[in-house]
Homo-oligomer: A and B are copies of this chain.
Amino acid sequence: MRQAKQFEHPSAKEITLARVLHALSDPVRLMVVAELAGGQERGSSEFECGVAESTLSHHLKVLRLAGVIKHRKEGTRCFVVLRPELEKAFPGLLASILKFRKRPA
């Protein structure tokens, strides 16, 4: 009953502005981040973004590698949550961006 190997995450120092902006410059990823904006953790299957499962997985990886989300496995499921380090690095940035998003479908 050992826990499987978890994902690699960049250190807080590796979170750069251009990288975060690039991570947010895709509608699917923007939708995921908006969904996480409340701060609570979400199961990765909760996102209904109209792309294949493998594509969503790819986008979560991009967000993870940009330092935007923490990605964790539990059993056969996966959970994601915003990384507090992001808010610490760029306080208010996410809110400033998300408040302009088109209405959450």
Contacts and interface: CB of A to CB of B under 8 A. Distances in A.
Interface in A1-44: 16-18, 21-22, 24-27, 30
Contact of A17 (B90, B92, B93, B97): B97
A97 B21 contact: yes
A53 to B, nearest CB: 22
A18 B27 contact: yes
Contacts of A26: 18
Given A96-B92, A97-B93, A97-B96, A24 B27 contact: no
Interface of A: 16-18, 21-22, 24-27, 30, 89-90, 92-93, 96-97, 100-102
